[in-house]
Structure 1
Amino acid sequence: MTLEGKTALVVSFAGAIGSSIPTSLANAGCNIIGVDKAKQDSVQISIDKIKKGRLSVSKIEELPDDNWEDDITVNLTAPFMVIKQLLGSMKEKGWGRMINISFICGLVALLNVSSYIASKSGLIGLTRDAARLAHPTKQFTKVDQIADLVLFLCSPAGKNMTGTAIAIDGGITVS
């Protein structure tokens, strides 16, 4: 797979996952731009906080309000600010890919991480809404697009995809 001539804006590029993504993209020929801060008017969110991630372990009734607010800021507000800055340009150009990593807590509830679950579930909803706004092609999927997905799933890169329903539907399911 080649990404020659493409450029990726990578936010949160520390840690095992964050550092492996730009490496894989660069190996596929993609130009990489790393971002240190997301800004919207007077609002500044330090990507350093995002790099560290945020996971407060506590029962709901014992969770400090500051921990709740920090988890929501790092895991949901910061990605919102980046999406807000980029969505218009992607719509104008008619091309782009926005990939947000949510972790399993966006899909299932684990004990004593309520603010993390709320922020990651919110990130999934935010990503779906952005996809609906930016790229609802509503076109029938072509057989070669399905074949490309199957090829990925059968390749070593798809080895950890198991039991997952994947919608390759031009944005219909997010409408």
Structure 2
Amino acid sequence: MLQDKVCIVTGGASGIGLAIAESFAKDGAKVVIADINEPKLKEVGERLGAAYMKADLSKREDCKALVDFALERFSKVDILINVAGIQTVSPIEDFPEDKWDFMINLMLTAPFLLTKYVWPSMKEQGWGRIINLNSIHGLVASEFKSAYVSAKHGLSGLTKTAGLEGGPYGITVNSICPAYVRTPLVDGQIADQAKTHGISKEEVVEKIMLQKAAVKKLIEPETIAEVAKFLCSDAGKHITGSTMTIDGGWTAG
């Protein structure tokens, strides 16, 4: 299914991005990984036999350089998966303005720019798949996450617009909106919350993180990779402009 498809994965050195890069490479895709963590990026790239490039995707020039790198190496881009992101928790009145700029650039402007830059290649070949790793916070809000929620809501809008524009050219654009996924970032949040509230890590997951969900279990990164793979398959060719919700029932109520 993915044999010889050229796939760019941002944030591919750890967490969800790593799971996607591993899964797609295993299925024969020619994976291009981008990440800011150069040592980890190098280790993953060499282990998977993937092309890799250190990139700060909050910078416009790095977004352009990443797509140019993929095109120079493989002459095309078939799949773009935007994963790179961070989360900062802070009340609006205390939120650093430069941190807001950085997060919006990384999680909303970068997916737009990368989409713009891969578009001509996908349009020329009449086939393309763009997947934006969104979040449940692209659908609902939580307090103290103004930049993160704003970026993810914007990403939902970008996904819908690009899906409409890409349809005539065989390009589908979708976003995946999971609840909490078991990643190093989330593991660190769990440990901090357990210490702050004086409760076990299991209670943090059930009573704080997934309080609104029916299924009180973290999602595994491999699950997200399988959904991404489905969206790139023939079975997913009529799905575009959608937000694939994987939230354990969070938004059902």
TM-score by length of structure 2 reads: 0.49
Whether 1:128 and 2:145 are equivalent positions in the alignment is no
What is the DSSP-based 3-state SS (H/G/I as helix, E as strand, rest coil) of the residue aligned with 1:33? strand
Whether 1:103 and 2:135 are equivalent positions in the alignment is yes
Between the aligned residues of both structures, percent identity stands at 34
Unaligned runs of 5+ in 2: 35-52, 67-81, 171-221, 228-235, 244-253
Distance 2:114 2:56 in 1: 6
What is the DSSP-based 3-state SS (H/G/I as helix, E as strand, rest coil) of the residue aligned with 1:5? coil
Contact 2:134 2:156 in 1 (8 A): yes
Deviations 1:4-29 (A, max 9, x none): 23221222212211111011011212
Contact 1:25 1:32 in 2 (8 A): yes
CA RMSD of aligned residues (A): 3.5
Deviations 1:43-85 (A, max 9, x none): 42478xx987322211122222112111101111111111110
User: Structure 1 residues 127 and 23 mapped into 2: Cα distance closer, same or farther (>3 Å)?
Assistant: same
Distance 2:83 2:127 in 1: 27
Deviation at 1:104, TM superposition (A): 1.4
Could you say which residue in structure 2 is the equivalent of 1:16? 15
User: Structure 1 residues 108 and 4 mapped into 2: Cα distance closer, same or farther (>3 Å)?
Assistant: same
Could you say which residue in structure 2 is the equivalent of 1:142? none
The structure with the greater share of residues assigned to strand is 2
Contact 2:8 2:31 in 1 (8 A): yes
Unaligned runs of 5+ in 1: 139-155, 162-166
- Higher mean displacement: 19-28 or 84-93: 84-93
Could you say which residue in structure 1 is the equivalent of 2:120? 88
Could you say which residue in structure 2 is the equivalent of 1:143? none
Distance 1:15 1:26 in 2: 15
Contact 1:9 1:34 in 2 (8 A): yes
Size of the aligned set, in residue pairs, is 146
Could you say which residue in structure 2 is the equivalent of 1:25? 24
Distance 1:118 1:34 in 2: 26
Could you say which residue in structure 2 is the equivalent of 1:149? none
Contact 1:59 1:112 in 2 (8 A): yes
User: Structure 1 residues 53 and 169 mapped into 2: Cα distance closer, same or farther (>3 Å)?
Assistant: closer
Whether 1:44 and 2:76 are equivalent positions in the alignment is no
Deviation at 1:117, TM superposition (A): 0.2
Distance 2:167 2:30 in 1: 23
